[in-house]
Structure 1
Amino acid sequence: MSTKQGGKAKPLKKPKSDKKDYDEVDMANIQKKKEEEKALKELKAKAQQKGSFGGSGLKKSGKK
């Protein structure tokens, strides 16, 4: 009757959560959030295509 004693213990599995019932207000908020995330992704993609703003960035003085 040997038991496994060394090493790391396995984490316990979480029970599966039940599906939640959403009302109209919750569904509207979820939909709005998805649309905002989609718009943000599109803006990020456009910003990456154009490159940096202003070109040169910060100007450094010649002094040390």
Structure 2
Amino acid sequence: MEYKKIEVLLTEKGVTAYRMCKDLGLHTSSVTAWRKGDYKPSITTLKKIADYFGVTVDYFL
């Protein structure tokens, strides 16, 4: 999973990464780590993000 796919969704929906984190109860430091490629979100987190943006988890895989 590349963070770029999340960035595309953020841009398309006009949502900031900060707003997404606050809405989903995620740490903003997690998004920074995903962006840097330090680690990837868990399947549970991917499900939350997918539901938030109205896409399937497969979109990220």
Q: TM-score, normalised by structure 1?
A: 0.20
Say which structure is richer in helix.
2
Higher Rg: 1
Structure with bigger RCO (C-alpha 8 Å, 6+ apart): 2
Q: TM-score, normalised by structure 2?
A: 0.21
